[in-house]
Chains A and B, each alone.
Chain A
Amino acid sequence: MKHPRIRFERDRTVWIASGKVELGQGINTALAQIAAEELDVAFERVRIVPPSTAYSPDEGYTSGSMSIQEGGKGVREACVQVRGMLLAHAAELLGAPLGELAVEDGTIRAKNGNSVTYWECAAEASDSPPAGAGVKASGPSKVVGKNAPRIDLPAKVAGKPAYVQDMTLPEMLFARIVRPARPFSSLTSLPELKLEGATLVRDGSFVGVLAEREELAIAAAAKLRAKAVWEESPVPEDFHRWLRENVSERSILKEIKGSSAGGESLKASYSKPFIAHASIGPSCAIARLKDGKLEVWSHSQGIFGLRHELSVVLGLPLESITVNHAEGAGCYGHNGADDVALDAALLARAANGRPVKLQWTREDEFAWEPYGPAMALELEARLDAAGSIVSWKHELWSNGHTNRPGRSPKPALIAARHLEKAFDYAPAVDPALPAEGSGRNAIPLYDFPDLQVVKNYVRETPRRASSLRALGAYGNVFAIESFMDELAQAAGADPIEFRLRHLKDPRARAVLDCLKNSWTSWRKSEDRGHGIGFARYKNIGAYCAVLAEVEAGEVLRVKRLVLAADVGLAINPDGVANQLEGGAIQATSWTLKEEGRIGAVSWEDYPILRFSEVPAVEVNLVKSEAPSLGAGEAAQGPTGAAIANALHDALGVRVRDLPLTPERIVKAME
């Protein structure tokens, strides 16, 4: 038996090739659970092989909370095939009918008492077993749906090599890149400097250094950066105004023409800033160009897309390039992983076949990673006399939310436009509905009889922008759910009851119902408030409702978050809870603190939530056997809105521009 995705090793382990990559979200653990379940082997025996373009299935990007749906399906199907091959062979060996075989931890037993293991069968089994041979009889699951410890954590907690940053190859050189902290069009001058123990690499406005020792590369890059002169690109002062003035295309995402009759009309404008991924580990890659073959180790979310882009920029055929996935620090969307990989490959051209490890600095990451785009939003609605919404309009202005490599004939990675032979740059775009990008979750899940959702796409980008966790859903849900609160107040209704009034979907209603106890048992005190936010991610993904409790003193503090979510069947419930809680805490940080200003290069310029500022978080999962839905992005939008609504409850002021800083709160109170 030979299967492209599954192999059995002598030490009685099973190795699974996945097309989805570990981003810190725990996908390898969940995929191992699925494999253990389908194959009937102990969870501890399953190993997930890091993906490579050399041997892995091309499952596209690990993004959009689709890894369990897409990657899980792929692993499950492969396991059913392989199980069929092994069982068919075992039936012959044991002289027993296929239907009478039972498997326990990889040992196949016949009713006559004879047995054989997967590992004994694997070499000789036929590749074409009878149809349906591997399908398991339905029964209670043993591994899926139960908490499983993350398979990658023991090494990480012990400080063992775990990330691409930790890899070392023989003869490896260390590299740093030289870029300014602000967007630029070209390098105007670079004086000749004596660089101790380091070599300058330059191609047009692309500059880097190679050295035998890392600290020498760092020193040389700092020296060059201090003396280099760049032609800076103009940056608008007010991004949101700039967006409104630079629309490339206006489109209607959804329209329902109902009666426009009704009473009171409300209107409000909201905004979200550029937000950084701000992973704790800056991006890193290793590249080696030897004998016309390029090999790259990268923490990219899409190794095949990256390979395509490397092929375009370096002028190498696809078959001469191998991209291997190696883990990086937490990935919350399209960060600098792909850019640093191209940078490393370009530097490898000057390394005479030696591998080059390029570590972006913290400054590089803050200055050049693609941020989640800024958005401006305008909402308008009309209430009837009974306090129901009869008309709803949502209009947004934004750059596209995806600028991933390999999706356009033009390169999207930054170095490509700085080379002597510069490439024309691919603009950020949006995926189609229902997922959308800037329009993600712009169409409300609520049932409104008259509806218009309009998107104003801005092609030109004042700073690099691409996918950040939840994409447009964070801004859209913040606006929709803030506005629902404003309307509930106008209607004199309880915020949960008001939402339920407009919501037919029973699973949506169930997650809101789940928060009712926490909502009603809360007692108001001075400067304290509570608020609700809800969304179904992408309108086709996980349902999540969030209750936030805040204290508005000198700064706004989030004291507690209660989440209720329906993700269908949770493969690893503890993993789901970890992702939802992590998402909610990250969204709390975005909502309270984060605003990506041009020129930010350090944690002082871009503060994030710290341990003593983190709220208590309670996660409630609705029990479900429905198909599994990704959980990693579901909490982002509802958390932001819940906090803004809680702020309003505490102080009676509405802040519609993110983040909810003390300055904005004070301004709203004046």
Chain B
Amino acid sequence: MTELEVNGQRRSVAAGPDTPLLYVLRNDLGLVGSRFGCGNGQCGACFVIVEGKAVPSCDTPLWSVSGKKVTTVEGLAKGGELHPVQKALLAEQAAQCGYCSSGIAVAATAFLSQNPRPSEQQVREALDRNLCRCGAHNRVVRAVLRAAKEMQP
């Protein structure tokens, strides 16, 4: 049994220690918002936040997050309300198929917590680890800038 903290809840799972976190989230914990894209950390569809940083859960063995705080896309919402980044993605209709959206929401949230007043160029560079094939990039960038604005105190 490995213990970990996901979205503020302590969970223990019976998966082997080398199991990629992605499959634990999706199959053991029913958190399917982290999507499978490539299996080797090249596309960003499975991003989760570990200790404040966006990391690919497909490339993160379970043992390495033992005792650490993991936030998935499902954990971004607070009190039943979507995170400002998620709201902004909807406001800008910043998706087509939406498969990359949850990884982008996670990456953007982690980025904005480090850099609350980014320039457009900084947003683009921050999202370079997230691939989008539908071509929703510009809408996504507008959404992240909108979220940054709305999150200002």
Contact = CB atoms under 8 A, between A and B. Distances in A.
Interface stretch (A381-389, A544-552, A580-588): A580-588
B40 A330 contact: no
Interface in A213-236: 213-215, 218
A174 B28 CA distance: 13
B121 A582 contact: no
B111 to A, nearest CB: 12
Interface in B37-59: 37-40, 42-43, 45
B36 A281 contact: yes
B42 A602 contact: yes
B74 A612 contact: no
A161 B133 contact: no
Contacts, number: 177
A332 B36 CA distance: 19
Contacts of B40: 362, 602
Residues of A in contact with B, size category: 35 or more
A157 B131 contact: no
A582 B82 contact: no
Given A24-B96, A581-B135, A586-B134, A154 B90 contact: yes
A328 B99 CA distance: 8
A362 B39 contact: yes
A361 B131 contact: no
A66 interface: no
A578 interface: yes
B60 interface: no
A622 interface: no
A103 B102 CA distance: 40
Interface in B101-124: 101-102, 105, 121, 123-124
Nearest to B89: A157
Contact of B86 (A158, A361, A616): A158
A604 B42 contact: yes
B148 to A, nearest CB: 15
A614 B137 contact: yes
Interface in B57-110: 72-74, 76-77, 82, 86, 89-90, 93, 95-102, 105
Q: Max chain A CB contacts within 10 Å: which of B34, B72, B132?
A: B132
Interface stretch (A162-170, A252-260, A641-649): A162-170
A155 to B, nearest CB: 8
Contacts of A583: 135
A359 B39 CA distance: 11
Contacts of B76: 159
Given A24-B134, A611-B124, A280 B90 contact: no
B42 A586 contact: no
A158 B96 contact: no
Nearest to A365: B38
Given A157-B90, A214-B23, A614 B138 contact: yes
Contacts of B74: 158-159
A33 interface: no
Nearest to B28: A213
Question: Chain A: interface secondary structure?
Answer: loop
Interface stretch (A145-153, A395-403, A524-532, A659-667): A145-153
A26 B102 contact: no
B99 A149 contact: no
A280 B23 contact: no
Contacts of A26: 96
A330 B96 contact: yes
A157 B95 contact: yes
Contacts of B150: none
A611 B32 contact: no
B141 interface: yes
Contacts of A162: 98
Nearest to B31: A159
Given A153-B90, A159-B74, A578 B32 contact: no
A10 interface: no
Q: Max chain B CB contacts within 10 Å: which of A149, A154, A330, A609?
A: A330
A149 B39 contact: no
A468 to B, nearest CB: 12
A157 B86 contact: yes
Contacts of A616: 138
Given A584-B135, A612-B121, A24 B99 contact: yes
A542 to B, nearest CB: 17
A205 interface: no
Contacts of B27: 168, 174, 213-214
A332 B133 contact: yes
Contact of B96 (A213, A582, A604): A582
A603 interface: yes
Nearest to A584: B135
A362 B77 contact: no
Nearest to A217: B23
Nearest to A579: B96
A159 B73 contact: yes
A408 B149 CA distance: 55
B146 interface: no
Contacts of B72: 159
A330 B134 contact: yes
A602 B38 contact: yes
Contacts of B130: 611
A281 B45 contact: yes
Interface in B1-55: 15-16, 19-20, 23, 26-27, 30-40, 42-43, 45
A166 B32 contact: yes
Given A578-B93, A585-B137, A280 B100 contact: yes
Contacts of A214: 23, 26-27
Contacts of B96: 24-26, 330, 578-579, 582
Contact of B42 (A152, A157, A579, A603): A603
10 contacts: A153-B98, A156-B99, A159-B33, A331-B97, A362-B38, A581-B135, A586-B135, A602-B40, A603-B131, A610-B128
The 7 closest A-B pairs by CB, nearest first: A159-B33, A24-B97, A156-B98, A585-B135, A582-B135, A330-B97, A159-B73
Given A213-B15, A578-B96, A604-B42, 17 more contacts: A25-B96, A153-B93, A158-B33, A159-B105, A163-B99, A174-B27, A213-B27, A281-B45, A282-B36, A329-B35, A329-B100, A362-B39, A362-B42, A578-B139, A586-B133, A603-B38, A614-B137
